[in-house]
Amino acid sequence: MDSSSSGNGEGRGSSSLWLYGVLALYATVFLVYAETWAFTPDESYHLLAAQLIGAGRTPYIDFCFPQTPLNAYWNAGWMRMLGSNWRVPHLLAALFTIASVLLIAGYVLRRLPVGGWRVAGAIVAALAIGLNGPVFVYGSLQAYGICLFGLTAAFRLAVRAVDRGAWLPAAAAGFCAGVAAASSLLSAAAAPVLLLWMVFYNRSGSRWKTLVAFAFGISVPFAPVFWLFARGPRQTWFNLFRYHAFFRRLYWPETTRHDLEILTSWIDNGQALMLGLLALTGLVYVVRRSGWPQSRKAEFYLCAWLAAALSVEVGRAHPTFARYFLLTVPFLAILAAAGLCAISAAFELHRPRWPALVVAVFMALGLGKTLYERREFDTWSVYQRLAAKVDQVTPPNAPIFAVEALYFLTHRTPPSGYELSYTHLVNLPPAEAALMHILNEAEVKRQVQSGMFATAYSCDDEEIAGFGLKTLYKQHADLENCTIFWDRK
């Protein structure tokens, strides 16, 4: 029987202990992973940016950083208090991801209007997010954790805002959506969807009040961007727009082919297929349930709109990557919980424990496959060994030619233009390149061959030969499939 209140007692007692136990186990495992194995090379320049900010340098103005800066400032503040190492940002991002799982599980537990299925639905939603391969692998890296939290918190607040005439919930929803977008523009599409939904479904108070409150809330997290634009409008415009529009694809010359492969990769991904099919089934189920209040249906429709808008946005990023789509997972998970109810009703399965268990096992196996495929990937321990060798052979404060991870781990400030290696393919007029702190490959080669670096690091045989590193330095050591050169001739 469908009812908005029939499951009120279900959230108490022994059945709820299953939910709390599952959430506690997930959080423990995820935190261990985040503090030990979690790593992707792209996170290095985010961490280096936070370290440079902590040292008093300004993104855009002092170095190239083609991201919205809120997460970098957030990490910089905590790293100054807790230590400038990678485990601090990992912990913060992991806690944000765990909080987003809790927010979605709590929503399903309270709002799924299907008697007897709320706990099972909450468990399914939580595991659909927490055990999702991209969420688990990347949720503690870069800005993904804070974006997941910002998006899910904005959703919960938007649902509350339409029932209240006060401006505070709408402003809080705008603030959380702004936190996500000010940490990564990949999440920006959620803001207009949330605003339009709140204005359209507003059931109390003034729609204009909602709009103004949301606009005020979303502007607060963008205060660093406004401040940076006032200091350097050309640099800010380049980092946030020009770089992505014209230069981001330089490292991916076959961008269209790459994007097509990514956009169709769900076909052979069991987790993505199951989540998508359950979410689609859930959406159809919600549309057809005449007994559900329209206000409750509207909340599930919002999940569909958010997932669609975010998918379109990240799908249009050139190049795009499968991990970008993790931002849609919380909203698909809510629909998937409804989808499980629909399938169970169709097969007359009246005990929710077993369908939920099947989904949990399937998600766990999918995550296991993902982690197994990444078993030989580098971790921070590899770069820590490399950094130790660099420090061993390099005098203090001497410049090194390296990658962002080694600048970060050795706490050595990179020379101007070396803060982001992806920019070396960008060719700008000399004056503009100097303003943006960008060096092209020819200038990098000239500087390396001039002997300005006490130590050089490379994993690329062509780069080693092209730069003549073996003739520039007397000594070298092969370590972790890379080579470190020192003692200039």
pLDDT of residue 395: 95
Q: Write out the two tokens for 445.
A: 């080669």
What pLDDT shows up at residue 165? 65
Three-state secondary structure call for residue 487: strand
Q: Which residues pair with 307 in a beta bridge?
A: none
- Cα separation, 374 vs 137, whole angstroms: 9
- 294 DSSP 8-state letter: H
Q: What is the pLDDT of residues 154-163, one digit of tens each?
A: 999 999 998 7
Within 10 angstroms of residue 201's Cβ, the number of other Cβ atoms is 20
User: Hey, is 134 helix, strand or coil?
Assistant: helix
The pLDDT > 90 percentage for the chain reads 84
The Cα angle at residue 281 between residues 118 and 22, in degrees rounded to 5? 35
Whether pLDDT at 14 is above 70: no
| Whole-Å CA distances, 71 to 147, 220, 242, 319 | 9, 14, 21, 22
**Helix/strand/coil percent split, the chain, to 5:** 70, 5, 25
Query: ∠ at Cα 373 (369, 379), nearest 5°?
Result: 120
Q: Please, is 123 exposed, middle or buried when counting C-beta atoms within 10 Å of its C-beta (0-12, 13-18, 19+)? A: buried
Q: Measure CA 446 to chain center.
A: 36
292 Cβ contact partners less than 8 Å away, ≥ 6 residues apart:
2, 113, 286
Examine the pLDDT at 13 and tell me if it is beyond 60. no
The DSSP bridge partners found for residue 483 are 458, 478
466 close to 445: Cβ distance less than 8 angstroms:
yes
Residue 64 CB burial class (10 angstroms; 0-12, 13-18, ≥19) = buried
- Report the distance separating Cα 220 and Cα 222, nearest Å: 5
* pLDDT the model gives residue 163: 79
Could you report the per-residue pLDDT of 44-85, keeping only the tens digit for each?
999 999 999 999 999 999 999 999 999 999 999 999 999 999
Confidence of residue 455 (pLDDT cuts 50, 70, 90): very high
Residue pair 97/149 in contact (Cβ under 8 Å)? The answer is: yes
Does position 1 have pLDDT exceeding 50, yes or no? no
- Answer yes or no: is pLDDT of 17 > 90: no
This prediction has a pTM of 0.94
Please name which of 111, 108, 121, 145 lies closest in space to residue 30, comparing C-alpha atoms: 145
State whether residue 466 is helix, strand or coil.
Answer: helix
CA dist 444 and 469 (Å) reads 13
